[in-house]
Structure 1
Amino acid sequence: MKYIIEMDWLTTHLDDPNVRIIDCRFQLGSPQAGFNAYVEDHIRGALYFDLEKDLSSEVKEHGGRHPLPDVEELVSKLSAAGIDENVTVVAYDDQGGPFASRLWWLLAYLGHKKVYVLNGTYSGWKQKGYAVTDSIPEVASREFQSNIQSSLLIDREELMDKLTAESDKILLLDSREEKRYLGEEEPIDKVAGHIPTARHFFWKDSLTSDQKWKTVDDQLDRLTGMDKGNEMIVYCGSGVTACPNVLALKAAGFENVRLYLGSWSDWITYEDYTIKKG
């Protein structure tokens, strides 16, 4: 599937200077766990990017729990990681792809064309007996050039306008699990429910039972009834688990796909927010 790299391919490119592997493992509620796991062992040659320190900015009044990182800071970190336009980036995590997909989306937003998510988890990589190490690599820096693709992102103000004036032309997708979408349970945010008109579209449904990505045909079956002519706007709790859905939609041929990065945790920080339950 487009944007997905197979483990077998990566095993033959571990020493390729134009391939950079990024470990994105993270545990919500235990922010140090991902880095600790990386230090213990990781795919040979991988560098670590942290969801909250590298792939998000500081939490403020608005912007959600994982706001868009400062572009200049992220570009600097990517340059230090030895990434330029010639480098193919492969991201992985151990939860089926939400954090790796967040890096994939951010690099796509910055205009980087060679970025992929590993098909499968880090645990799956180890089970196959592929190369792991506790050695942290040293890489030569390169100059990352950003070319912001602003059309991939939508903020709350524009979303509000579209829900008012163009609701028949957009399809709003909520990527959270069903209980949170229905408002029956909300373990993280202060308000339960979903954005009015949103359709439930659980991100894990893009994966097989062994946490690999479904084929394009299977993704298209999942997308039955969705019009490729519509503008697709995807959100979740904080702009992380929406990213696998963005990837799945783009891979299945939906071109006009945008991320509401602040997502539900941003939506409910405004006095005029509206919600729906059930």
Structure 2
Amino acid sequence: MSDVFKSVNELDTKDVKWIDARFSLQDSELGRKKFEEGHIKEALYWHLENDLSDMTKKAGRHPLPAKESLTLLFRKSGLELDDQIFIYDDGGSPFAARAWWILQYGGFKNSFILQEGFEELAAMGVPVSKSTDPSVPSNVVPVWDDSIFATREFVEKTVEGKTGNVLLDARSAERYRGEVEPIDPIAGRIPGALNFDWEQLKKDGSFNLSDTVGEQLSEIVKHDEGIVVYCGSGVTAAPLFAMLKQTGYEHVKLYVGSYSDWISREFVEVAKG
């Protein structure tokens, strides 16, 4: 079992780096506005679409930036590989998990998703500031962990039964079955995928770290299986990836392009029902 989600009460908050990942899919600048109104002291702000996605790519709705771009982000943020990094959003949201996954991908293994959202952290007495002083840049060289990244080609081979992996769809059951599709132009799922709605990971607005979630996951996927998680655009699948790691699953990959990338080519096969 890995420590992924942490309560600030469990952590020594001295000599740490804070990352604020608040965001709204309905208002892309809301998270930045909240950051400017107040954030954890010395926190950096990482924007889902400007920092954690490359919106110029045609690989789904929130494509992963190139390694070169992520390296610049890490350096601009003043990060070192051995830094202890705490990431927060509004609590029970997928955005801190997206930032955490990218840090894991880059080799920053001492990074954690905070259980508490910003308002709860502030109420607990964690120092808050409106100052946005820039970080001292670093020259960090990421150690990329490609084992947690699933390419489209890997997913295609998985659909063909050639990788031994299981696809796990993090969207709602209705979207998984293709009954509704509020965002993408084609309803359905990647053929062969199983389903675990990421909303089931939460209880009372926070991620549920009780044994209950682990038991629910084990009813869908086995601990010794290779698992590829996806959602609509690689965002809400990130907390599912994180919870799988939290509950002891070792062989997990994230298909960042997700369903929106899967349906981006002509004559693509989807499943319904």
| TM bracket, shorter-chain basis | over 0.9
Aligned to 1:26: 23
| 8 Å Cα contact 2:94-2:238 kept in structure 1 | yes
Percent identity reads: 36
> Bigger CA drift: 243-252 or 206-215?
206-215
Could you tell me which amino acid in structure 2 is paired with residue 232 of structure 1? I
Query: Mapping of 1:211-226 within 5 angstroms?
Result: 211-215=206-210, 217-225=211-219, 226=221
- For residues 212-264 of structure 1, the C-alpha deviation after alignment (integer angstroms, 9 at most, x for no partner) is 3423x233212223222211010001011101011111111111101111001
Residue 150 of structure 1: how far off its partner (Å): 1.2
Aligned to 1:4: 5
Query: Mapping of 1:126-137 within 5 angstroms?
Result: 126-137=122-133
Aligned to 1:191: 186
What runs of 5+ residues in structure 2 fail to find an aligned partner? none
CA distance in 2 between partners of 1:252 and 1:4 (Å):
10
| 8 Å Cα contact 2:83-2:108 kept in structure 1 | no
Could you tell me which amino acid in structure 2 is paired with residue 187 of structure 1? P
Aligned to 1:37: 34
Find the residue that maps to 2:191 and give its secondary structure: coil
Find the residue that maps to 1:87 and give its secondary structure: coil
CA distance in 1 between partners of 2:10 and 2:224 (Å):
34
CA distance in 1 between partners of 2:107 and 2:121 (Å):
29
- For residues 71-97 of structure 1, the C-alpha deviation after alignment (integer angstroms, 9 at most, x for no partner) is 212212211212102311111111514
- For residues 59-82 of structure 1, the C-alpha deviation after alignment (integer angstroms, 9 at most, x for no partner) is 433x10111112212212211212
For residue 148 of structure 2, the aligned residue among 132, 152, 157 is 152
| 8 Å Cα contact 1:76-1:144 kept in structure 2 | no
| 8 Å Cα contact 2:158-2:166 kept in structure 1 | no
- For residues 124-175 of structure 1, the C-alpha deviation after alignment (integer angstroms, 9 at most, x for no partner) is 22343443221223432222221111111112222111221337x3221110
For residue 110 of structure 2, the aligned residue among 114, 125, 131 is 114
| CA RMSD after TM alignment | 1.8
Query: Mapping of 1:171-210 within 5 angstroms?
Result: 171-210=166-205
Aligned to 1:49: 46
Number of aligned residue pairs = 271
CA distance in 2 between partners of 1:178 and 1:24 (Å):
27
What runs of 5+ residues in structure 1 fail to find an aligned partner? none
CA distance in 2 between partners of 1:184 and 1:165 (Å):
26
| 8 Å Cα contact 2:41-2:129 kept in structure 1 | yes
TM-score (norm 1): 0.91
- For residues 83-116 of structure 1, the C-alpha deviation after alignment (integer angstroms, 9 at most, x for no partner) is 1023111111115141111111111111221111
List structure 1 runs of 4+ shifted beyond 4 angstroms: none
TM-score (norm 2): 0.93
| 8 Å Cα contact 2:170-2:230 kept in structure 1 | yes
For residue 263 of structure 1, the aligned residue among 236, 258, 262 is 258
Aligned to 1:248: 243
CA distance in 1 between partners of 2:118 and 2:207 (Å):
11
| 8 Å Cα contact 1:208-1:214 kept in structure 2 | no
CA distance in 2 between partners of 1:85 and 1:160 (Å):
33
